[in-house]
């Protein structure tokens, strides 16, 4: 019996540790050949040798289990290094089928305390990094589709965050980047659908080295049980979205953690006000909109803070 991702090749960015590592291992378990990307940092032995980088360690773990994997040390937020990453997958496996964008960093601070570099670095790694790899992958799929005169197989899974959905007060840079990734995903989904490519975005909750401070107060695992915030709760959804089974899932946002997947509905228009004249005046807007908000909760915003309360079994 063939595996769901047999014959397919994948890129997973930020895959040397944490969530990306779990995703790379899951894709390989499902049969994909994987390019394991991570920024070129020393591995567990601290030697600084390229062969000891986290990306190579994960690639070796996949190969040791009988899978196919190569490592790529590179910064996906650098346009040319992102090009090299996609070209490595195409050269090594003949084509690229799956792109999992996961790489990211945190530089948390309140908006009134945040520095320019803290803002720029997070936007660069998360949002520009997602764009760079998506750009080169989309060029590859579009050229292949035009060459054969038919749709090809392509899957993009991007990584947003509940920080965007709920409006995390201490993460304005991260929330903005993750919101931008949602917009990038829905735009990409519409642009590439005719070429056979789907693009979806997940909002995972996982305890990793990057988020250990964020989730320091969250429940710890019971003895002998998998941590509810383990990346292994997220990876199966990524594997599913990368598979042929998810062909009709496109342009969607899904929250995932702790044995739960929630599909988030698109925004809805809840009220509309029309001017009685050619254009609104201040007084007319005051008469129409002010009463509308008078009885609404004072802290209610466009943010959907209720997603933070989602858990398995609700």
Active site residues: 161, 174, 178
Q: Are strands 9-12 and 98-100 parallel, antiparallel or unpaired?
A: parallel
A 10 A CB-CB count for 245 gives 11
SS (H, E, C) 237-269: HHHHHCCHHHCCCCCCEEEEECCEEEEECCCCC
18-29 vs 54-64: helix axis angle to the nearest 10? 20
**At a CB cut-off of 8 Å and minimum separation 6, what does 206 contact?**
18, 19, 22, 229, 230, 231, 233, 234, 257
Listed in sequence order, the residues at least 6 apart from 5 whose beta carbon sits closer than 8 Å to its beta carbon are 27, 30, 31, 32, 98, 239, 242, 243
Task: For residue 182, give both structure tokens.
Answer: 């949602």
The answer to whether residues 82 and 11 touch, using CB atoms and an 8 Å cutoff, is no
* Tokens standing for residue 84: 């090299």
Beta strands at 9-12 and 33-38: parallel, antiparallel or unpaired? parallel
3-state secondary structure of 83: helix
Q: Which two structure tokens, joined as six digits, stand for 43?
A: 């591995």
């Amino acid at each position: 019996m063939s595996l769901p991702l047999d014959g397919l090749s994948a890129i997973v960015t930020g895959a040397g540790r944490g969530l990306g590592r779990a995703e790379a291992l899951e894709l390989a378990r499902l049969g994909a050949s994987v390019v394991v990307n991570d920024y070129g940092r020393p591995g567990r032995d601290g030697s600084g040798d390229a062969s000891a980088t986290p990306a190579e360690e994960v690639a070796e773990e996949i190969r040791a289990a009988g899978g196919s994997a190569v490592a790529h040390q590179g910064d996906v937020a650098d346009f040319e290094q992102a090009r090299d990453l996609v070209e490595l997958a195409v050269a090594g496996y003949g084509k690229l089928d799956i792109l999992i964008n996961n790489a990211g960093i945190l530089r948390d601070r309140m908006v009134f305390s945040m520095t320019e570099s803290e803002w720029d670095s997070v936007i660069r790694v998360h949002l520009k990094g997602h764009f760079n790899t998506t750009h080169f992958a989309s060029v590859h799929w579009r050229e292949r589709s035009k060459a054969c005169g038919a749709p090809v197989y392509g899957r993009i899974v991007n990584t947003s965050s509940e920080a965007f959905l709920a409006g995390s007060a201490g993460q304005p840079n991260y929330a903005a980047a993750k919101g931008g990734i949602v917009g990038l995903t829905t735009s990409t989904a519409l642009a590439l659908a005719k070429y056979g490519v789907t693009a979806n975005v997940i909002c995972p909750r996982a305890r990793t080295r990057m988020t250990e401070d964020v989730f320091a107060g969250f429940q710890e695992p019971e003895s002998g049980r998998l941590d509810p915030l383990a990346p292994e709760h997220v990876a199966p959804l990524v594997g599913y979205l990368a598979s042929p089974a998810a062909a009709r899932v496109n342009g969607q946002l899904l929250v995932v953690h702790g044995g739960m997947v929630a599909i988030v509905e698109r925004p809805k228009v809840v009220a509309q006000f029309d001017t009685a004249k050619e254009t609104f005046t201040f007084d007319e807007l005051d008469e129409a909109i002010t009463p509308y908000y008078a009885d609404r909760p004072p802290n209610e915003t466009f943010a959907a803070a209720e997603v933070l309360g989602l858990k398995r079994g609700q």
